[in-house]
């Protein structure tokens, strides 16, 4: 399959391995299997790097900014889980992405895209790229961060606000992160969830958008130094309860 299809199995393997490590699992057989699957998935994913760098669904030129941002975050999480990941490749991809800054606080955009990546709004795409870079440790994006932060704040879109709250904490700007977190907490639904007002980075809508927005809000609450225990518990309970099996 393509980069997205490979990610559907490779990324969960990283999460499983991270969980086994975090819980100090003694199940060495499962740990070894997860590690093997993660590294096999990683090697497959790197085959989709475009000749002129960045990532594309089938490895052709030109790379796509949104897919590359997704890849950078995926590779970073794989490395954190213990995968044999080339940091030089991640840096190369991040530098390629940052070379596509448009000078106005956003990123240039390759219009060719598979699936629903081509339908994403510029504001969602720019905020996602900032979020992915910041989460992966790249903070030389001050102008782009400020621009997407303002748009998230003005839009009142919980999906954008959750992404930029995460980015704020990753960038070390607790003040901005807390300001967005206060707004997010005021928008939490009675059932513990949040829903974006438009779409996600993969143009998810409906229940998928609710799941993604709530997950991002949970990630931001975990990073927040504030006392969000009740809201966090309700959000996690919603997420667990929303599984369809």
User: pLDDT, tens digit, for every residue of 125-175?
Assistant: 999 999 999 999 999 999 999 999 999 999 999 999 999 999 999 999 999
The contacts of residue 110 (CB under 8 Å, 6+ apart) are 62, 63, 64, 65
Q: CA–CA separation, 149 vs 170, rounded Å?
A: 13
Can you read off the two tokens belonging to residue 189? 């639904």
User: pLDDT, tens digit, for every residue of 203-213?
Assistant: 999 999 999 99
Please tell me the predicted confidence (pLDDT) of residue 115.
Answer: 67
- For every residue of 181-242, DSSP letters joined together read HHHHHHT--TTS----SS--TT---HHHHHHHHHHHHHHHHHH-SS--HHHHHHHHHHHHHT
Beta pairing partners, 189 = none
Q: Taking all residues of the chain, what is their mean pLDDT, rounded to a whole number?
A: 93
Please tell me the predicted confidence (pLDDT) of residue 118.
Answer: 72
Beta pairing partners, 107 = 101
* For residues 33-57, average pLDDT: 95
| DSSP-based three-state secondary structure for 243 | coil
Q: Is pLDDT larger for residue 9 or for residue 55?
A: 55
Residues in the chain: 245
Cα 121 from chain centre: 16
Residue 123 has pLDDT above 70, yes or no: yes
pTM over 0.85: yes
Q: What proportions of the chain, in percent to the nearest 5, are helix, strand and coil?
A: 65, 0, 35
Q: CA–CA separation, 158 vs 214, rounded Å?
A: 9
Can you read off the two tokens belonging to residue 170? 């990753």
Whole-number Cα distances in Å, 130 to 19, 24, 221, 224: 26, 32, 18, 18
User: pLDDT, tens digit, for every residue of 9-25?
Assistant: 899 999 999 999 999 99
Residue 1 has pLDDT above 90, yes or no: no
Share of the chain above pLDDT 70, in %: 98
Q: Is the peptide bond before 62 cis (omega within 30 degrees of 0)?
A: yes
User: pLDDT, tens digit, for every residue of 85-120?
Assistant: 999 999 999 999 999 999 999 999 877 766 667 778
| DSSP-based three-state secondary structure for 173 | coil
């Amino acid at each position: 399959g393509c980069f997205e299809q490979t990610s559907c199995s490779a990324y969960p393997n990283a999460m499983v391995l991270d969980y086994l490590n975090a819980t100090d699992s003694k199940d060495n057989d499962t740990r070894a299997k997860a590690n093997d699957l993660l590294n096999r998935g990683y090697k497959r994913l790197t085959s989709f790097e475009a000749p002129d760098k960045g990532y594309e669904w089938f490895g052709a030129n030109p790379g796509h900014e949104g897919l590359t941002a997704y890849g950078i975050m995926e590779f970073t999480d794989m490395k954190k889980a213990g995968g044999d990941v080339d940091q030089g490749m991640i840096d190369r991809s991040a530098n390629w992405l940052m070379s596509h800054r448009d000078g106005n606080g956003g990123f240039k955009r390759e219009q060719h895209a598979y699936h629903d990546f081509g339908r994403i709004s510029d504001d969602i795409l720019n905020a996602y790229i900032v979020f992915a870079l910041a989460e992966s440790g790249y903070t030389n994006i001050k102008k782009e961060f400020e621009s997407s932060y303002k748009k998230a704040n003005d839009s009142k879109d919980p999906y954008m606000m959750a992404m930029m709250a995460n980015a704020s904490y990753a960038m070390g700007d607790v003040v901005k992160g807390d300001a967005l977190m206060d707004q997010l907490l005021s928008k939490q639904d009675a059932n513990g969830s949040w829903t974006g007002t438009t779409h996600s980075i993969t143009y998810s809508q409906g229940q998928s958008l609710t799941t993604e927005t709530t997950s991002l809000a949970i990630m931001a609450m975990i990073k927040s130094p504030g006392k969000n225990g009740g809201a966090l518990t309700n959000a996690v309970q919603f997420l667990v309860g929303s599984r369809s099996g």
